Structure 1
Amino acid sequence: MKQWTHSSREEVSAQTIGQLINLSGRQRMLSQRIVLHVLLASYGDGAALMVAKDCLSTFAQTHADLVSGDGPLTGVFSEALRQLYFGARNADESIQRFIAQANQAVSCLESGMTDGREKTDALVVQGTPLLELLQEITLAYQQEMRSIETASLKRQSDIAERLGNISMQANIVALNARIAAARAGQFGREFAVITTVLADIMKEMDQLIHSVVNAHSDNEAPPRSSAPLPGRHIRADHAFQ
């Protein structure tokens, strides 16, 4: 099984992480169904054995998808997830061990071997710690989602701030142009019309920027600074002298 994929967090969409959260959450439910139905099967419930086999198959395939990123998923795409799955926590090994124990228990019960109850008891012992581990994995994906959303809002806020500074400089240039047109008298009338249109465009651009900034405020994004960028101060009364 592939243990590391090279997709970076920036390449992973929020929609994909939402799918990963749903899958990891479903793994918790499946693990408990596997333990419960293997236990029921150990008491002679044949239907429970079939349910346990189906759940185990889905559980094993989903874990492979989460780790290796087959298909549309991204696998282990961050250092935090890599440490969780393959680092000190070693979640991958624990989950693979649970899958192997569940398969052994199912095989023993299916074939009527005498140690089926022993294998079942060993599986039941693993149920609670595995559930805690799967909860930890789900929380890790949720943290990745929060990190991506925060980074996205930060990028949007930076773009809004840059556009705001560009708009400010453009307004200053338009003002200087109107001053120059006024000084030119009748020779600057056509130029004055152009500067008026430019001012209207800048006004519309400011309105769009304000709408973006307000949207960020609603989402508790970092506030946008109104200060101009360093080194870009322009004196309107000296620009065309």
Structure 2
Amino acid sequence: MLDDASTLERPREDGFAGVKLSGDVFGALINLSGRRRFTSQRVVLYAVLASMGHEGAVATARETLAQFREAHLTLVEGKGGLPGVFCAQLRDAYFGVLQGDRVIRDFIALAEAALDAIVGGGRGAPALLDELVRSGTALLSVLNGLTLVYEEQSKRHAQLQKRQLQVMMGDIKTIAKQARMVAFNAQIVAARAGQAGKEFSVVASSMTLITGEIDDLVHEALNGALAA
């Protein structure tokens, strides 16, 4: 069984501070959130088939429910490099307005009760199954909403990474420009020194060429970042 929701709610700062995120991590989170949609409906389908006496349907329903539960726990608590609830928007979606965590837990409990009743031939099995079907339909909108939050946070993270890259490249460009000025001034000093400064002049000229190449590379990188 899932732990109480209150044990999963951890205070975090808004944004991504202290959380290791990447495009691959967001891809995994979005896929896992999408998997909950698929597995939730598969649970309902095989519960219905189980009520009709289809062989193996109960086992498949229980296995799928376990996958659904595991995906939810991973997304809320974090596991295998995935961060769990890492921002205010997700915290609100799971424990605030959308109440995603409560809705999902209620669905899991209802599915377990319905499957137990079907296996035991209980008189309440049909009513529980009807409730599960209705719950599964309502659950879809909640799961869609949760997946949308992950997609929005992924876009936000990509935009943040782009801005950080632009700032970093801008800093490198400024440093390269300053280094080029130093090298240019060094060439002037070397020229004034005559024969004694000839060797130093060669080094200064090389510095000018290198900083020029750095400037060109940064310019290309900045243009690429802006076009992305």
Q: TM-score, normalised by structure 2?
A: 0.89
Number of aligned residue pairs = 219
Q: Using the alignment, how far apart are the partners of 2:59 and 2:176 within structure 1?
A: 67
Q: Using the alignment, how far apart are the partners of 1:78 and 1:14 within structure 2?
A: 16
1:45 aligned to which of 42, 50, 54: 54
The more displaced of 160-169 and 204-213 is 204-213
CA shift for structure 1 position 50: 2.1
Partner AA of 1:158 in structure 2:
V
Q: Using the alignment, how far apart are the partners of 1:172 and 1:72 within structure 2?
A: 46
Listed one character per residue, the Cα deviations across residues 69-113 of structure 1 (whole Å, up to 9, x for unaligned) are 133321101111001001121110000000001001000000000
The reply on whether 1:31 has 2:37 as its aligned counterpart is no
The more displaced of 155-164 and 182-191 is 182-191
Q: Using the alignment, how far apart are the partners of 1:115 and 1:189 within structure 2?
A: 98
Partner AA of 2:112 in structure 1:
N
SS of the residue 1:11 aligns to? coil
Partner AA of 2:20 in structure 1:
E
Match of 2:75 in 1: 66
Partner AA of 2:223 in structure 1:
N
CA shift for structure 1 position 51: 1.7
Identity %: 37
Structure 1: which 5+ runs fail to align? Answer: 220-241
Match of 1:208 in 2: 217
Q: Using the alignment, how far apart are the partners of 2:193 and 2:201 within structure 1?
A: 10
The reply on whether 1:189 has 2:198 as its aligned counterpart is yes
Conserved 8 A contact 2:173-2:218: yes
Q: Using the alignment, how far apart are the partners of 2:223 and 2:106 within structure 1?
A: 51
Q: Post-superposition, which runs of at least 4 consecutive aligned residues in structure 1 deviate over 6 A?
A: none
Which has more radius of gyration? Answer: 1
Partner AA of 2:124 in structure 1:
D
1:168 aligned to which of 177, 202, 205: 177
Q: Using the alignment, how far apart are the partners of 2:82 and 2:9 within structure 1?
A: 13
CA shift for structure 1 position 199: 0.9
